[in-house]
Amino acid sequence: MASAATKPLMLLCLFVGECSLAAALDTCRFLGDEKTNSLYENGDIVIGGLFPLHYNRICVFVVCNERFFTCSFSSRALRWMQTMAFAIKEINERSDLLPRLRLGFDIRDSCDDIPVSLRASLLLVNGHPERPRVNSENGDRETVSSVIIGDAASGISMTLLRSLGSFQIPLVSYFASCSCLSNQREFPSFMRTMPSDAFQIRALVRLVSYFGWTWVGVIGVESDYARFAIQLFLQESVQYGVCAAYTHFYPVSLNQQMSSSRVIINFSGESEMQSILQEIQHRNITGLQWIASEAWSTASSLWAEFGGLLTGTLGFAIRRADVIPGLKQHLISIRPSHIHKSAFLAEFWEETFNCRLNGSVNTHSHSGDPYPDRKPCKGTEDLLDVYTSYSDVTQLRVSYNVYKAVYLVAHALQDMSECISGQGPFSNGTCGDPKSFQPWQVRMCPHSVL
């Protein structure tokens, strides 16, 4: 495990001209305080997680006057993070699944950004020098993740796969739907609990054809996700006599071509759609018929703010779980007394109640008020008294995908632990050791094939 985990670090050393891996291990230092910028619990096996807790809203339209970025905090993504932690704790309490192994987690913020995601992934697979491994037999001080659950975005997932794929580290995505990721020759270490866009595109084409909309606009965010989705749509639509009035990628300014078709299919994320709707609201454009991709069709924040503009919107949603027993209680169990040392949880609490926790490691605000000017939290705040998307478990779609991704990894490890020597899936019928396995062995297990 140690040799496999240090390969990505070796690659970095080659780029900077280091001639010795040992020298690199002695001299490499991480900048910033990484201990507070993650949700972490040790275990025999530590599963990594990448989630877009923060994201940049790109504003490029007239209403914004100029292009700028605003950093936003996603309570919804925090729920995904907590769902991963909950699933791992649930497995640890079971006697029928991995009874002799304790799973841990190292969950980090990808910021919906490629450089940040790459840095976080390298921290996951190389470990952090300030976190010594418990019960290590070889004295290795690093705690590493041999499997990563993430990321949400298809483009970021592709970048991570191209960086880590050579080291055969499995990436299990809960939201990346690009059909391009189904190419097992290019991305052999990729798995997902999210359906490929190929299925959604066929359904969208049939949907617009059913309503007789044969002249439609097609737009999307500038990304691999949208490019491949639009390409598939244009190919599939020919069979049904549906034509594209125009295709646009943004961020771009809205133009007059949008008025040539009132039916618009939009392949974007929640944050990009928010910017588009702000501009449409500013221009007082009405009467548009939106066809939503799965990435924003159930985004409650959009419907709460722009419900009038979205009236009549059609689209397809990710399969929803009716309930994940115990998740609601896990989400609302956080208390100020034990979250102030976690940057993620402290930030959520302070944003939700507009106050400042005593001893908080969070240092910034998204509400516009200077963080030091916030009043101290009283300690009587209760999540049951407010609505947040964090504690809303009525639409468990992506959260359910996260939950399934954790169990996918757990069942692969269970198969490994139950393997009979001579009948295993590896060379000469050998089996993997669940306490010291190679990352590529997870991909070989029956439960992990998607």
What pLDDT score does 1 carry?
Answer: 43
From residue 71, give the alpha-carbon distance in Å to each of 52, 59, 217, 299. 12, 11, 30, 18
Q: How many CA atoms lie within 13 A of 111 on its CB side?
A: 15
Rounded distance between C-alpha atoms, residue 238 and residue 395, angstroms: 34
* Secondary structure of residue 47 in the 3-state scheme: strand
Exposed e or buried b for every residue in 308-327, given b needs 16+ CB within 10 A? ebbeebebbebeebeebeeb
Question: Tokens in use for 81?
Answer: 């993070």
The C-alpha R_g of the chain, in whole angstroms, comes to 23
Torsion of the alpha carbons at 325, 149, 249 and 274, rounded to the nearest 10:
40
Contacts of 312 (CB under 8 A, 6+ apart): 289, 290
Question: Tokens in use for 240?
Answer: 């049904």
* Per-residue DSSP letter, 46: E
What pLDDT score does 31 carry?
Answer: 52
Choose which CATH entry (3.10.450.50, 3.40.50.720, 3.30.70.270, 3.40.50.2300) describes domain 2-195+396-448. Answer: 3.40.50.2300
Beta carbons of 105 and 47 less than 8 angstroms apart: yes
What pLDDT score does 98 carry?
Answer: 94
pTM score of the predicted model: 0.86
Maximum separation of any 2 CA atoms in the chain, in Å: 70
Please list the residue range(s) of the chain that carry CATH number 3.40.50.2300. Answer: 2-195+396-448, 197-315
Exposed e or buried b for every residue in 419-433, given b needs 16+ CB within 10 A? beeeebeeeeeebbe
Q: How many CA atoms lie within 13 A of 43 on its CB side?
A: 24
Choose which CATH entry (3.40.50.2300, 3.40.190.10, 3.40.50.10470, 2.40.110.10) describes domain 197-315. Answer: 3.40.50.2300
What pLDDT score does 5 carry?
Answer: 44
Rounded distance between C-alpha atoms, residue 81 and residue 204, angstroms: 30
Q: pLDDT tens digits, the chain, 450 residues: what are they?
A: 444 444 444 444 333 333 333 444 444 555 555 556 789 999 999 999 999 998 876 544 433 334 444 578 899 999 999 999 999 999 999 999 999 999 999 999 999 999 999 999 999 998 765 555 444 444 444 468 889 999 999 999 999 999 987 888 999 999 999 999 999 899 999 999 999 999 999 999 999 999 999 999 999 988 889 999 999 999 999 999 999 999 988 765 565 566 688 999 999 988 888 888 988 888 888 889 999 999 999 888 898 899 999 999 999 999 999 999 999 999 999 988 888 778 899 999 999 999 989 888 887 676 656 667 788 999 899 999 999 999 999 989 999 999 999 999 999 999 888 888 888 888 888 888 888 787 877 865 555 544
Q: At what angle do helices 114-126 and 154-164 cross, to 10 degrees?
A: 40
Rounded distance between C-alpha atoms, residue 8 and residue 163, angstroms: 8
* Per-residue DSSP letter, 169: -
Count of beta carbons in the 10 Å neighbourhood of residue 183: 10
Question: Tokens in use for 273?
Answer: 């759609």
The β-bridge partners of 39 are 107
What pLDDT score does 280 carry?
Answer: 87
What pLDDT score does 389 carry?
Answer: 92
Average pLDDT for the chain = 83
Rounded distance between C-alpha atoms, residue 154 and residue 178, angstroms: 6
Nearest to 80 by CA among 268, 324, 296: 324
